[in-house]
């Protein structure tokens, strides 16, 4: 799992995972691990066909409970077909075979999985997997559209070579994509209707044909904010510097290189945004370009002149409307509390998050962060080292209560 998707705040949530007949059934074990790592409890139902590929014991061994494998269970649990609808916050079916799609679309309840799905009152997350010709068949596509119209989430199959050695669309979507859709189904949708713009990663300021001025930011903190906002229902635009992480396809990505390009992209979007999160490590200065050719070394010394770049946070923060909110970041090496407070005022931000980038576990490229936070009302807190997704989630909690 990537550092910016490793959310762990789902303790007390319950997920149900449905597995139907496909060679991709074994990938359900990875999904189970991911959901368990998020803190959620996970139950599983396997169809008869799924059990031709993998056994219920495999899921039980990894901590799934309960695990359903029959329509009519032995013992007292005669209402197992109602359990997910009564106890679960989300229901993910992955892989979903063509037969399972047909059952779901047409309201059939002739096995345990379809019965449980029919009794589940919320939207399902469905990840189909099948032969490309089966996927493109008109009947399968009609079933998919029926399910979409009812509000269910379809995580479309990926393209490539399938188990039957055919090329095309049909293979199960990446497991991490399915996992994130499952987390979104369990998340509070308290940012629904919000439009969120996030800047992340480094900028690169070109000097000659092969060299540039930059910093070691990985974009993990900004990517954590982007995913957290999307999980909570927001419409997210991510302005990504070079080398930043992959994001869910539902997040609109704008790739840029230089500070000027990042400012241009942010400025064009800002008027339509309700929240701006400025995590990018933007170069404050750019070298005066030598040109497109490679500079050849000559004498012993080299002098490079620099010009000031646009202060994106300050420019857009001071242009914000009353209905817009701004979260800024301050990457510091000393006097963090003092510098964070100064930045809050100078940038007209609602919240500024500061961190010591020279400290282990809190700097560039780290999966964790240790931060100091100050808001416009004067509230200040110091948070211990925590995973960056947790920091992002808690900062949004703070902003929504501000």
Could you list the active site residues? 164
Q: Which two tokens stand for residue 21?
A: 């007949």
Sign of the Cα pseudo-torsion (33, 35, 40, 43, in order) = negative
For 207, 212, 258, 295, the CA distances from 292, given in Å and listed in that order, are 8, 12, 15, 9
CA atoms of 166 and 109, how far apart (whole Å) = 32
Q: Would you call 302 exposed, middle or buried from its count of C-beta atoms within 10 A (0-12, 13-18, 19+)?
A: exposed
Strand (E) or helix (H) holding 139: helix 138-149
CA atoms of 198 and 279, how far apart (whole Å) = 7
Residue 152: phi and psi, rounded to 5, are: -75, 150
Q: Print burial letters for 253-288: b (CB count within 10 Å at least 16), e (below 16).
A: ebebbbbebbbbbbeebbeebbbbbbbbbbbeebbe
Diameter over CA atoms, the chain: 87
CA atoms of 388 and 374, how far apart (whole Å) = 18
CA atoms of 325 and 45, how far apart (whole Å) = 44
Sign of the Cα pseudo-torsion (342, 346, 351, 355, in order) = negative
Residues forming beta bridges with residue 235, ordered by sequence position:
195
CA atoms of 12 and 86, how far apart (whole Å) = 14
DSSP character string of 81-104: GGHHHHH-SEEEEEEE-HHHHHHH
CA atoms of 371 and 356, how far apart (whole Å) = 8
Strand (E) or helix (H) holding 252: strand 252-255
* Closest by Cα among 180, 134, 138 to 157: 134
């Amino acid at each position: 799992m990537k550092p910016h998707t490793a959310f762990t705040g789902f303790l007390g949530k319950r997920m149900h995972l449905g597995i139907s007949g496909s060679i991709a059934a074994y990938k359900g074990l990875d999904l189970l691990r991911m959901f368990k790592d998020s803190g959620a409890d996970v139950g599983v139902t396997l169809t008869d066909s799924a059990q031709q590929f993998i056994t219920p014991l495999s899921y039980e061994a990894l901590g799934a409970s309960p695990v359903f494998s029959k329509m009519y269970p032995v013992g007292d649990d005669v209402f197992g077909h109602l359990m997910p609808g009564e106890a679960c916050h989300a229901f993910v079916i992955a892989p979903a075979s063509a037969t399972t799609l047909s059952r779901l679309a047409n309201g059939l309840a002739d096995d345990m999985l379809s019965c449980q799905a029919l009794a589940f009152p919320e939207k399902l997350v469905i990840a189909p997997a099948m032969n490309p010709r089966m996927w493109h068949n008109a009947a399968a596509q009609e079933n998919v559209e029926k399910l979409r119209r009812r509000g269910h989430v379809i995580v479309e199959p990926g393209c490539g070579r399938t188990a039957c050695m055919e090329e095309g669309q049909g293979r199960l979507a990446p497991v991490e994509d399915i996992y994130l859709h499952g987390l979104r189904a369990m998340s509070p949708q308290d940012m629904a209707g919000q439009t969120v713009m996030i800047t992340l990663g480094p900028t690169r300021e070109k000097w000659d044909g092969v060299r540039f001025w930059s910093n070691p930011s990985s974009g993990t903190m900004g990517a954590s904010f982007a995913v957290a906002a999307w999980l909570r229902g927001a419409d997210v635009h991510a302005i990504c510097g070079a080398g930043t992480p992959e994001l869910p396809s539902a997040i609109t990505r704008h790739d840029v290189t230089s500070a000027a390009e990042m400012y241009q992209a942010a400025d064009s979007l800002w008027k339509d945004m309700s929240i701006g999160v400025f995590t990018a490590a933007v170069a404050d200065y750019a070298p005066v370009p030598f040109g497109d050719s490679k500079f050849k070394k000559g004498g012993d010394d080299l002098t490079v002149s620099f010009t000031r770049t646009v202060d994106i946070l300050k420019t857009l923060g001071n242009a914000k409307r009353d209905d817009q909110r701004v979260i800024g970041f301050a990457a510091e090496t000393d006097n963090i509390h003092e510098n964070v407070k100064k930045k809050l005022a100078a940038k007209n931000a609602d919240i500024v998050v500061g961190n010591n980038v020279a400290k282990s576990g809190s700097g560039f490229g780290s999966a964790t962060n240790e931060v100091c936070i100050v808001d416009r009302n004067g509230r200040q807190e110091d948070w211990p080292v925590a995973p960056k997704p947790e920091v992002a989630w808690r900062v949004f909690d703070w902003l929504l209560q501000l």
